[in-house]
Each structure stands twice: as C-alpha cells, then as structure tokens.
Amino acid sequence: MRRRFAALPLRSRLALLTGLAVASAVVLCAAAAWFVVRGQLMASLDDSLRDSASREELAQVLGAPCAAEPGELGEIPGLVRDPIQLVTAEGGTCVLAGGVSLEPADSDIAVARLELGEALHDAEGSDGERYRVLTRPVRGGAAITVARPLSEVHDPLRALAVVLALVAAASVVGGAGAGVALARTGLRPVDRLTGAAEHIARTEDLSVRIPVTGDDEIARLSRSFNSMTAALASSRDLQQQLIADAGHELRTPLTSLRTNIELLARSEETGRPLPEGDRRELLASLTAQLSELAALIGDLQVLSRPERTVSSGRLLEVVALHDTVARAVSRARLRARSLPIAAELVPWYVRAEPAALERAVVNLLDNAVKFGGGDERGVEVALRDGVLRIRDHGPGVPAEELPHVFERFWRSPGARGLPGSGLGLSIVARTVRECGGAVALRPAGGGGTEAVLTLPGAPVPPPGAED
C-alpha cells in the first residue's frame, strides 16, 4: 500500500490526503453529533418517564388492589397509552394500561422488595417492540412500571444518520475536489520551478529567473533557485574568463619557447651551430620560460580547485604564523639579493593549511620586493596581534588600480614587462578567505605600498596543539 501511494504523482497524493483529512473530520463530527443527539433523546425520554410515574392520576389508580385481569382497567387519564403494569415482590405482574405486558427484570423485582429506589432499563414488550422502562416502588409491597417505546429515540436517530451520511458523502466529494484544486494551486510554483530546471538542463541557459511573490516556503525555494542559477552563471563566467585569460597568458611563453626551439633545431639542421655564448643564453632563456610556464600552470591548478571556507568542515592545522612568516622572509631574502628585509614578529597562532599560508606570505613578499623600486630602506615586515604588515618603499600603486590588484591575471600597466602571471595576489586573497581572514593593499605614508593581512587566532597555541 505504501509503495502504491509513493508511486502516485505528488498532485494525486496531495488531493488524496486532503480528501482523507476532510472525510475523517466529517465522519468524526457526524459520529460525535449522532452520539450527542442520542444521549439527549434518551435523557429526554427518561425525564418523560419520570414525569409520567409521578402524576397524581397514577397514584390514585394505584390505591386499588391489583385484582383485575390485564387490560380491564382501561386507560388511565393523563397518560397517552403508555404501557403501565404492577410488579409484585414475588415477580407477578398486572397490566394496568397500554395492553402490553413486560417481562419484569431482576431490578424491577428488587424495587418491589424495596431493595432499590428506582430501576431504569430497556425491555421487550409482548408486542415485540423495544421499550424504555422505569420502575418505582408503591405501597403494598409492589412496584409500578411505566414504559415508552424506544422508537421515539430510534426513528429520529435513523433520520439523523441518513442526513449525516449524505452530508458526509457530499463533504468527502467536496474535500476531494478541494484537494485537487489545492494541489493544482499549491504546486503551480513547483511546476514553474520544474519547467525552469528542465529548460536549463535542455538549453544550459542560466539566465532564467523565476518570479518571486510573497514570503512563504515556495517563495523561499524560488529565491534559492534564482540564487543558485545566478551562482552557477557567475561560476561559469569565471571559468570561461579563467580559460580565456589562461590561454592568453600561456600564449606568450609558448610562443617564445617555440621560437627558441625552432632556432636551435634550424641551427642543427643546417649544420651551422650557434655561437657558444648565444647558445648558452638561448638555453638559459628556455629554462626561465619553462620555469615561468610551470609556475603559471601551478597557479592555475590552485585557482581551479573549489574554494573552501572556514565553515566547510575541513580539518585545519594550528599554525604558528610568526614561524611561517619567518620562513617566507628567509626565502624572499634569497630572491631579493641586496634589498634588505627587516622583520619584527610577535607570536600568533592561527588555523590554516601550512603550505598554502606560507605560499600566500611569500607571494606578498615577492610582490613587495618586485615593486620596491630598489630603495635602500627595503621591505619592512611586522606581525602584531594577528595583523601582518608588509611595506615597501617603491613608487606605490595608483589609487584607481587598487580595487583590481586581487583580480586574476590583472597586472598594472607598469608591471607588464616584469616576470609574473598576475595570479599571485589572487592566490593570496583566496587563501586568506579560506582561513577566515582579510587582506588589502593600500598606499603607505611617505610613499610605497603596504599589504595588510589579518587572520583570526591567539597569541598562544590552544591546549594540545604542537608549536
């Protein structure tokens, strides 16, 4: 049954569940109404019996001895042909009115013996009909039994049951119709969402947006879908831009490599070898171009991986940022040659990937060394309270170029002739974001540029972490 229900379309399931809910509610209400009415009718019938048993006319008739045959006393004034009989302590009966005798129950005999004050029950008369019977004691060691036909209750209940059944059936049909209408109305936004998803799957058109109205769950789903398609479109645009920029950047070293290799091959083919000095220079150029190409491919691999955030659940290590910066400064000094690099480092511990963090710091230092302008003051590095400042004393970055320095493959017009791919600062920004920090470049007072890198952490390692 569950499998069959699960196999139904969502619209059919909603309509069926709505119809069942309405049917259940109507049936419960009808049953409750039927039992309430039945209780009221029975209570009314019992009150009527008690009223009949307490009339003065009945008391006067009961003053005579019970010696007549059943039916001889006729009808008692004031009682509308209700069966009335006497019950003796020995279980004998004497019909006084109504022409119907009732078999006395044990409770009736107990009332005649004054063991009970009253007896109220159902009984079947000599005419085959069911009666509601009330028995009360009278003087002389007997009891009087007054009865009313239960048809006074059953007939209205049958009519009520028919009416309630018709109402319930109509309600079930109406509920099913309402369920179908509700399912169509409620699933219309889902149909639009499904159509949009199918259109995107068929055409790969990520510009599709679903109109959003209201603030309910469907509206939230539509907004989430629109956000998802916008993010996918942005990601695809970034991928296309990355491919285009990578192709453009790779063209230059590949062209140079091809030219130099063709020159070497031509010299070998023609039997006219290049002079030794030119040959060594050409081989050194090839080595440098291959190194540049390998670095560019490595940077592209780093940027092609999905960016992870602090909340992504990946495991990060506790890293001593001051040690990482010290190693990066040592590497930068080897490349800076005569350019001095002064470092003042206060201990600070962060959570990060050690290799990626060191590479980001090295990229910032290389950038400072490259654009330091050869000033004798060199590069100044300071780490205090989790804020790393790297300052050079070069010409600085124009204010209009600062918003673009962390973009992929972006290079300032003055740096186009310098080695590099334009990806170093992009990798820095990505690594810092993954660690939950921030990085910025800004003009330094007195000239030059200052890189400010901020990472959350603490001046002491957490318990259990290795320094």
183, amino acid identity: A
Residue 70 has pLDDT above 60, yes or no: no
b/e sequence 374-413, b meaning 16+ C-beta within 10 Å = eeebbbbbbbeebebbbbbbbebbeeebbeebbebbbbee
What CATH homologous superfamily does 315-458 map to? Answer: Histidine kinase-like ATPase, C-terminal domain (3.30.565.10)
- In 3-state terms, what secondary structure has residue 259? helix
Instruction: List, as one string, the DSSP characters of 283-305.
Output: HHHHHHHHHHHHHHHHHHHHHHS
Q: Tokens for 78?
A: 């004031």
Average pLDDT over residues 304-327: 73
Residue 67 has pLDDT above 80, yes or no: no
Tell me the pLDDT band of 60, cut-offs 50, 70 and 90: very low
Q: What are phi and psi of 352, to 5 degrees?
A: -165, 175
82-86, 178-182, 303-307: range with highest mean pLDDT = 82-86
pLDDT of residue 72: 42
pLDDT of residue 4: 67
Same fold, 217-304 and 315-458: no
Instruction: List, as one string, the DSSP characters of 45-69.
Output: HHHHHHHHHT-HHHHHHTTS-S-SP
Q: Identify the residue with better confidence: 407 or 305.
A: 407
Answer for the pair 356, 393: CB distance below 8 angstroms, yes or no: no
**What CATH architecture does domain 217-304 belong to?**
Orthogonal Bundle (1.10)
Domain spans in the chain, listed from the N-terminal domain onward: 217-304, 315-458
What sign has the CA pseudo-torsion 145, 146, 149, 153?
negative
Q: State pLDDT tens for residues 200-234.
A: 888 878 777 877 777 777 778 788 888 888 888 88
Query: Mutual orientation of helices 354-370 and 424-434 as an angle, nearest 10°?
Result: 140
Pairing of strands 130-138, 317-320: unpaired
Residue 407 has pLDDT above 70, yes or no: yes
pLDDT of residue 73: 41
Pairing of strands 341-345, 379-384: parallel
Tell me the pLDDT band of 313, cut-offs 50, 70 and 90: very low
Instruction: List, as one string, the DSSP characters of 128-185.
Output: S-EEEEEEEEETTTEEEEEEEETHHHHHHHHHHHHHHHHHHHHHHHHHHHHHHHHHHH
pLDDT of residue 321: 92
Q: State pLDDT tens for residues 340-386.
A: 888 999 999 998 888 888 888 988 888 888 876 666 778 899 999 98
How high does pLDDT run on average in the chain? Answer: 78
Answer for the pair 117, 134: CB distance below 8 angstroms, yes or no: no
CA atoms within 13 A on the CB side of 345: 17
Tell me the pLDDT band of 68, cut-offs 50, 70 and 90: very low
Average pLDDT over residues 125-140: 84
pLDDT of residue 74: 44
Q: Which helix H or strand E contains 119, and what residues bound it?
A: strand 119-124
* DSSP annotation of 418: S
Average pLDDT over residues 334-343: 80
* DSSP annotation of 201: H
Residue 20 has pLDDT above 50, yes or no: yes
Owner of token pair 């000239």:
447
